[in-house]
Structure 1
């Protein structure tokens, strides 16, 4: 198979310049977006690399130069969308930090990352590799950000120390997934001049989460 042949080729020595044209970031992005679209339409079981390549407007050889298999492609897509979450800014207050974290998570769940997560949640129950990437690439970054929010709040004296700061991340992820994926009314956008489902969820959840970690809304 083409991908096996490519993966078995010896890597070039470090001092030597790379041969061929550099990777096209636009094609990478097109392949990632096509993967999410095909996953949403067909599910993991019926996804094929040929369908993804066709949707992205590239050859399968182009896809295989980036990912060796369907599983590598899906895992790589999950990692890329998770990395789009970015670093947690320090707003100077627990309420501001937590609102930013909730907003970033809402934007992720309402965009391509959310569609990808929908598929991974179902597939991860019987696919160990995807279960690992669901944890390490999607859940763990939120847990790390939530822990940083808690550490800053404790250092400022906003809240008492927590025995397990990662519990806040579980509350953030669990509550946002429940509101945006599992609650029928929240899963559909409201009026054009009203708040999005994510913004509405943030307004409801932020006061509760502040109290849960020992603070009071401002």
Structure 2
């Protein structure tokens, strides 16, 4: 079967419900295969046939779930984002901020990071992928960061901020820079037997606390 390229995606990148009930394990296998093929071949090199083969299913099975390669990538991003749990309330700004940084580090070093690479590269000329980058990945981070800020203000940990979402820009920008763009990040991490993400958290946490105006404890 030839590669389908037309965009027929439904709301939130999800395929329409039809026929017999979906097999959740098969869906997950296809989503994981999509991330793996994207990592190896990029968006331009991804084909539904390659994903189906990696997942051990037929292309007909894949097309019953997603109508095109674009729908498949969008659906993968939406499903992956929906698997992320809620931001915990640790009772203090430092704990909340450390949890947020750890969540972002885990994201960028795992499947979410590989998806982010692909979506950023393609979003400049693909409106559907740009939309899912914003709604499924960027906005949830902004909302979680704003929650951390509002909790801290309510507790008196920091003075009020004009824009509670500013923390997300600091977290995402700094994490992407340290984990994706800094050549010696891996060296700094292995020097003390920690991961790149853990090294980034140690580096960023004191800076972000000062930037937010955290009062000394």
Q: Which interval holds the TM-score relative to the shorter structure?
A: 0.7 to 0.9
Matched residues, number: 207
- Offset of residue 189 of structure 1: 8.5
The answer for the alignment partner of 2:52 in structure 1 is 53
- Offset of residue 166 of structure 1: 0.7
- Offset of residue 186 of structure 1: 1.6
Query: Within 5 Å, which residues of 2 pair with 1:1-218?
Result: 20=20, 22-187=21-186, 190-191=189-190, 194-216=193-215
- RMSD between aligned residues: 2.4
Q: What CA distance in whole angstroms lies between the structure 2 residues aligned with 1:31 and 1:74? A: 10
- Offset of residue 67 of structure 1: 1.1
- TM-score scaled by structure 2? 0.88
- Offset of residue 84 of structure 1: 2.6
- Offset of residue 62 of structure 1: 1.2
- TM-score scaled by structure 1? 0.87
* Residue range with higher mean Cα deviation, 88-97 or 178-187: 178-187
CA pair 138-188 structure 1, distance change in 2 beyond 3 A: farther
- Offset of residue 29 of structure 1: 1.1
- Offset of residue 171 of structure 1: 0.6
1:15-42: CA deviation from partner (whole Å, max 9, x where unpaired): xxx853x221111111111111111111
CA pair 217-84 structure 1, distance change in 2 beyond 3 A: farther
Where do 5+ consecutive residues of structure 2 fail to align? 10-15
- Offset of residue 77 of structure 1: 0.8
CA pair 103-60 structure 1, distance change in 2 beyond 3 A: same
- Offset of residue 187 of structure 1: 4.8
CA pair 102-30 structure 1, distance change in 2 beyond 3 A: same
1:25-66: CA deviation from partner (whole Å, max 9, x where unpaired): 111111111111111111111211111101110111111111
- Offset of residue 192 of structure 1: 9.3
CA pair 79-184 structure 1, distance change in 2 beyond 3 A: same
